[in-house]
Amino acid sequence: MRTVELLLDEAADLSVREAWRRLADAGLPSQARHRSPTNSPHLTLATCPELTAPIRWELAGVAAALPLPVRFTGVVRFEGPSSVLAWGLDLDPALARVHRRVWEAVASDSPPGALNPLHAPGRWSPHVTLGRSRRAGALAGRRVPGLLPAPPPSARLTVLRSYDTETGALEVLGPSR
C-alpha cells in the first residue's frame, strides 16, 4: 500500500515531536516509540495500492500548490479496534480542496474497493497522530491533555510524500523541503 501524506513546517513538526516525547515520558502510547527513520509528523490524505503514472500526474498539481496554511483545532481521540490520540486540523475550504484532489487522483486509477473509506471526502477527519495503540480503549479515560503542550495555532503543510508500507521506501512527491 502507498500513503499520500503532507508534512508539517519545521516549527509545527517540533511541536508534534514535543507532544510525542511527553506522551512517551508518561508511559502512554506515543509515535515517539516508532523508531523508523521515515517516522515524521504528517497528515495522511489517502492510501492506494500503487502510485500509477496518472495518479502521479494529478499529485504533481497538488504538490505545486504547497505550502498550504492550516489551523489546529485541539486534541481529538478516535476509539475503535485501536486507540488514537491526535491534534485535529480545521477542514477549511482550502484543505478540503487539496484532500478532494488527492482522493480523486487515487480513486481514478485504483481498483474498486481498494481505498480506505475513512479517507473519503465527507468521512475524512484531518489529524496529526500523537499516539496510537492497537489495544482498544488504551487511551480512553486517560487525562492526557494536561500532559501535552498546546498545539501551535497554525502551521503550513509543506511537502507531499508517499510511504510504501511493503518496502519501507519513502518518496518525496514535491516540493522538496
What whole-number distance in Å separates Cα of residue 156 and Cα of residue 6? 10
Phi/psi at 135 (5° precision): -90, 120
SS3 breakdown of the chain: % helix, strand, coil, rounded to 5?
30, 30, 40
What pTM does this model have? 0.93
Statement: residue 23 has pLDDT above 70: yes
Which CATH number goes with the domain that contains 49? 3.90.1140.10
Task: Output b/e per residue, 127-136; b: 16+ Cβ within 10 A.
Answer: bbbbbbeeee
**Mean pLDDT across the stretch 58-86?**
93
Per-residue confidence at 4, pLDDT binned at 50, 70, 90?
Answer: very high
170, β-bridge pairs: 163
**Mean pLDDT across the stretch 66-84?**
92
Number of C-beta neighbours around residue 118 at 10 A: 13
Angle ∠(118,123,124) on CA atoms, nearest 5: 70
pLDDT of res. 79:
84
pLDDT of res. 11:
97
Q: What letter represents residue 85's amino acid?
A: L
Per-residue confidence at 138, pLDDT binned at 50, 70, 90?
Answer: low
Residue 8: name the closest of 103, 98, 89 by CA: 89
Statement: residue 137 has pLDDT above 80: no
3, β-bridge pairs: 47
pLDDT of res. 142:
62
Task: Count up the domains in the chain and report the number.
Answer: 1
How does pLDDT run across 87-103, given as a tens digit for each residue? 999 999 999 999 999 99
Per-residue confidence at 140, pLDDT binned at 50, 70, 90?
Answer: low
Question: Where in the sequence is the domain holding 161, given as residue range(s)?
Answer: 2-174
